[in-house]
């Protein structure tokens, strides 16, 4: 069995697949073994860029698929950490979450608040700061 590597494959059918790949010789003919192949589609919306991830063959319970090189238009090894992370997160997720937002989602699809979103303190801290401001304004108005 050959070395394993992550690759993006373009089939003659037009499909693009991301998978962990192993090239093996089968009686002198090379065969490509795909482990957990997925398809990815970029979706641009008003809320930003998203990547829709799906299993290549959705109805199959198999993890490994074999294709012959004559079905492949081109294949390129990828070292893109973000793509590989999306691939691994998809495989770890048992619920098959379809949409991944690269910016601030965790593997369960939940968005974590960031300072850019306005999250700068806890509710208790914000309440205390607002009460202090209100008390200062009340004291200033009494002194006037």
1-16 tens-digit pLDDT: 578 999 999 999 999 9
Q: Write down the pLDDT at residue 96.
A: 47
Q: Write down the pLDDT at residue 76.
A: 94
Q: What is the mean pLDDT of the chain?
A: 81
| Domain boundaries 4-112, CATH class | mainly beta
Between 48 and 18, the more confident residue is 18
Supply angle C-alpha 101, 106, 110, rounded to 5.
Answer: 80
Per-residue pLDDT at 115 exceeds 70: no
Mean pLDDT of the 72-94 span: 88
Strands (E), 12-68: 16-26, 29-45, 48-55, 64-67
CA 114 to CA 14: how far, in whole Å?
A: 39
Query: First CA to last CA across the chain, in angstroms?
Result: 86
82-92 tens-digit pLDDT: 889 988 988 88
- For the chain, the domains span 4-112, 113-144
């Amino acid at each position: 069995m050959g070395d394993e590597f992550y690759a993006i494959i373009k089939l003659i059918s037009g499909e693009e697949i991301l998978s962990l790949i192993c090239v093996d010789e089968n009686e002198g003919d090379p065969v490509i073994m795909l482990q957990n192949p997925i398809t990815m589609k970029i979706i641009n919306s008003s809320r930003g860029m998203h990547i829709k991830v799906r299993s290549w063959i959705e109805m199959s319970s198999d993890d490994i698929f074999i294709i012959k090189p004559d079905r492949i238009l081109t294949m390129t090894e990828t070292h893109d950490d973000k793509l590989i992370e999306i691939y691994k997160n998809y495989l770890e997720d048992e619920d098959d979450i379809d949409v991944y937002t690269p910016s601030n989602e965790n593997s369960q699809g939940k968005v974590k608040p960031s300072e850019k979103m306005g999250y700068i303190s806890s509710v208790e801290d914000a309440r205390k700061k607002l009460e202090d401001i209100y008390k200062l304004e009340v004291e200033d108005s009494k002194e006037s």
